[in-house]
Chain A
Amino acid sequence: MQIAHDILLRSYRSMRTIRDFEERLHVEFATGEIPGFVHLYCGEEASAVGVCAHLSDTDTIASTHRGHGHCIAKGVGVEGMMAEIYGRKTGVCHGKGGSMHIADLSLGMLGANGIVGGGPPLICGAALSHKVLKDGGVAVAFYGDGASNEGTTLESLNLAMVWQLPAVFVCEDNGYGEATGASYACAGTQKARAAGFGMPYFDCDGTDFFAVHEAAGQAIAHARAGHGPVMLHVHLARWYGHFEGDAMTYRANGEVARERSEHDCLQNFRKHVTETSLLDLSALDDIDSNVKDEIEAAVKAAKNAPLPEPADLQADVYVSY
């Protein structure tokens, strides 16, 4: 599939933004200035961006606790996100959600989710909205190999087939549910699970943007055309722990280093576009430099942003009460 120039540039920018956002959080978290839990998406950027390249604001996604990448790929601004993670009033959720609950419904971002397997049922509902309201939208659930074992996920695969929903189930398989290997925790295969529900199955190398873009394009087109839900199984690796502070002693020596050196989606992207003369490296370098400044500005703004006020504690529990 030929990918338009502007989409290539936008996708690279989006992946670079996720990478720098997360790498910076890794550094900042270590200083102790960021409250709560942070789960980083580094290494998995091509998945969020390759899928979201096919979506617009009228499509819906639901994300996971490892949600920063999905938010950025769906267009949520990094300044509001960074402020949110710092617990500031200027955050995208006014400092009341934090890292695991970043959402922007106006962009079709139905939220990161602190509950493993929380997203798939919600996405059945969003897909139902698209179907009933006939707005042409699709709904995409990102979930991990860990969440693939939740009853909510399996029930959602069934419901989506029964109702023939325009839903896409993106299983981001990074090989670990927290500290436990998928090879131990997942019986059978994701492919066989999809087949069990009669659901079309696609899979791809999640460290290769072009592979994700190609597979996601087919999967999303199927759902958008009204042919029912699909599963997209994305094979990838996470570069940091389950949460920040996780020493990853459960992983093999050299495993992460090898992923970084051999399966870096950004390096692969740069290599691919230069080998195929799709883009000029200088354009990518410009993006790198712009993103660097943008993240720097976001961190600075977040640190200087006002904290929530006491009155915010009891605001927005209900629309009316």
Chain B
Amino acid sequence: MSKKSFRQAINEALRQEMQRDPRVILMGEDIAGGQGGSAGVVDAWGGVLGVTKGLYTEFGAERVFDTPISEASYIGAAVGAAATGLRPVAELMFVDFVGSCLDQIMNQAAKFRYMFGGKARTPLVIRAMYGAGFNAAAQHSQALYPLFTHIPGLKVVVPSSPYEAKGLLIEAIRDDDPVIFLENKVMYDDEEEVPDEPYSIPFGEANLTREGDDVTIVAFGRMVNFANEAADRLGKDGISCTVIDPRTTSPLDSATILECVEDTGRLVIVDESSPRCNMATDVAALVAEQAFDALRAPIRQVVPPHTPVPFATVLEKLYLPDAARIESAVRSVMAYKKAKQDA
């Protein structure tokens, strides 16, 4: 066990799985960098943010493939390779680029097993960065996990910390279905204790990062950290919160969410993705339908406005949910009194 960054945890998961299984290959734009005849350093980048650094040097050109800037062809190739015996991990760089290769994910990878009558396996992982907070503006900042969650046949992972990232990525690589693995780009330098040995965290099993009696907070990815921060602050004022990190949006651990809401009677959902048809509305619908009687206050969603992600720092800060907004949402549900009952 040692302190590792989110970036190092992901790199270690890839390295260990590639050592374990020769069928695991990597492909993506500049995931080595300088591959195939450039004049400078080979393995120069390790991806634009250095996440795959060193893997080309260790595993070579037969396992690690720089691609042309050509998402439709190489994501499609990853799908085809997965259906024919390899276990590719393809890096899509920014998840926003899915606009160039959605067909390969949505109509090919996700559908093979069902439309071929259960005869296909497509053990594919697509890694991509998501999230605002980097002044990367509208085409490099989206949190598109609801888009993938909507598509039957895909599994979707949104890790919230280095420990989670390593265990969930190893699980994703060993999984026999196509998995979308989304890494919040602001978190790459976050550090925590991460075991050196390989371990996996099962999909569809939520993690309770805080346990309390008054309010359930469901948060996704980086938002889990803000929810924890808010819960710790509220705890000092005597408001105790449960924080649920679902880890995966598909499958979603509905049972844990419903159980916690039954216990606390109040629900705040924190989701960094655009507010229409996102995970917040999905969880709100789940609870409204299946735990209506347990609710002692309306469900509150802490989400961005229905706008593209802005560039200017002042606007981007306004756009993103943060601990203060979560705290205020929790206080508002605590303060809520049912008018009819009081009358």
Binding site for B on A (CB under 8 A): 60, 62, 91-97, 101, 103-106, 110-111, 113-115, 118, 120-130, 132-133, 139, 151-152, 155-156, 158-159, 162-163, 315-321
Contacts and interface: CB of A to CB of B under 8 A. Distances in A.
A103 B120 contact: yes
A125 B74 CA distance: 8
Interface size class of B (residues with CB under 8 A): 35 or more
Interface in B58-94: 62-63, 65, 67-68, 70, 72-86, 88
Contacts of A151: 72
Nearest to B204: A321
A112 to B, nearest CB: 10
A317 B76 CA distance: 20
B77 A128 contact: yes
B21 interface: no
24 contacts: A92-B117, A93-B116, A93-B119, A97-B115, A97-B116, A101-B111, A103-B116, A104-B119, A105-B120, A110-B83, A110-B84, A111-B116, A115-B107, A125-B79, A125-B88, A130-B84, A139-B80, A152-B104, A155-B70, A155-B72, A156-B77, A159-B74, A316-B114, A317-B153
Given A93-B116, A94-B117, A101-B116, A125 B68 contact: no
Contacts of A152: 72-73, 76, 103-104
Contact of B118 (A94, A104, A115): A94
A221 B343 CA distance: 85
Contacts of B120: 103, 105
Nearest to B103: A115
B102 to A, nearest CB: 11
B164 interface: no
Max chain A C-beta neighbours (<10 A), residue from B65, B68, B81: B81
A318 B83 contact: no
Nearest to B111: A101
A139 B79 CA distance: 14
Contacts of A163: 65
The 5 closest A-B pairs by CB, nearest first: A121-B76, A125-B80, A316-B118, A122-B80, A93-B117
B177 A124 contact: no
Interface in B102-145: 103-104, 107-108, 111-121
Nearest to A92: B117
A112 B36 CA distance: 34
A317 B119 contact: no
Contact of A122 (B23, B108, B117, B176): B108
Contacts of A92: 117
A233 B152 CA distance: 37
Nearest to A111: B116
A96 B115 contact: yes
A176 B152 CA distance: 34
A118 B76 CA distance: 8
A133 B70 CA distance: 24
Contacts of A126: 80-81, 83-84
A316 B152 CA distance: 11
Interface in B29-73: 36, 62-63, 65, 67-68, 70, 72-73
A105 B68 contact: no
B25 A132 contact: yes
B84 A91 contact: no
A319 B176 contact: yes
A316 B122 CA distance: 12
A132 B152 CA distance: 30
B156 to A, nearest CB: 12
Contacts of A101: 111, 115-116
Given A94-B117, A105-B116, A118 B103 contact: yes
B80 A133 contact: no
A321 B81 CA distance: 22
B93 to A, nearest CB: 16
Given A129-B84, A158-B68, A319 B113 contact: yes
B79 A122 contact: yes
A163 B27 CA distance: 11
Nearest to B110: A317
Max chain B C-beta neighbours (<10 A), residue from A91, A124, A318: A318
Given A121-B72, A121-B75, A121-B79, A96 B86 contact: no
Contacts of B67: 159, 162
